[in-house]
Amino acid sequence: RVRNLVTRFPLRSGLLNRVTREVHAVEKVSFDLWPGETLSLVGESGSGKSTTGRALLRLVESQGGEIIFNGQRIDTLSPGKLQALRRDIQFIFQDPYASLDPRQTIGDSIIEPLRVHGLLPGK
């Protein structure tokens, strides 16, 4: 469940590098998603689709709202529980080909998340 999610990014300028304004990337997004359901975010370039996904995984911090997954607020999760959450949520980028690292083989790209989440047998 997501309620009134807000994510903003500061824009800095000037000699002292002060925050002069903010980019309002996500403003008051709300939705419910039940077990077994799939959510697709569709919109124009720059509309906040990827930022919403990143905020759900806490890859970027949100400035407001509430995200609850399996009955827990994700903004209070410990690093270990946050890693488990990331294992349970799948996030597919708008352009999956752009998300591949050309310095890695396809096999390494597939194995990396398994390694990060400790799901590989052995080693």
Spatial distance between the Cα atoms of 82 and 76, rounded to a whole number of angstroms = 9
Q: Do the domain assignments include residue 122?
A: no
Residues 12 and 75 sit within 8 Å (Cβ to Cβ): no
Give pLDDT tens digits for 42-83. Answer: 888 889 998 999 999 999 999 999 999 888 999 888 988 888
Q: Looking at residue 123, what is its pLDDT? A: 56
* Range list of β-strands (E), the chain: 2-13, 18-31, 64-69, 72-73
Q: Do the domain assignments include residue 63?
A: yes
Give pLDDT tens digits for 90-118. Answer: 777 666 666 677 888 888 888 888 888 78
pTM: 0.72
Q: Do the domain assignments include residue 113?
A: no
> Which residues, in sequence order, are CB contacts of 21 under 8 Å at separation 6+?
10, 11
> What does the chain come to in residues?
123
Residues 25 and 7 sit within 8 Å (Cβ to Cβ): yes
Q: Looking at residue 80, what is its pLDDT? A: 87
Q: Do the domain assignments include residue 12?
A: yes
Tell me the residue range of the domain where 90 lies: 2-95
Q: Looking at residue 73, what is its pLDDT? A: 93
Q: Do the domain assignments include residue 60?
A: yes
Q: Looking at residue 97, what is its pLDDT? A: 66
Q: Do the domain assignments include residue 121?
A: no
Residue scoring higher pLDDT (119 or 97): 119
Domain with 86 in it: what CATH number? Answer: 3.40.50.300
Domain count, the chain: 1
Q: Do the domain assignments include residue 6?
A: yes
Q: Which two tokens stand for residue 45?
A: 């370039």
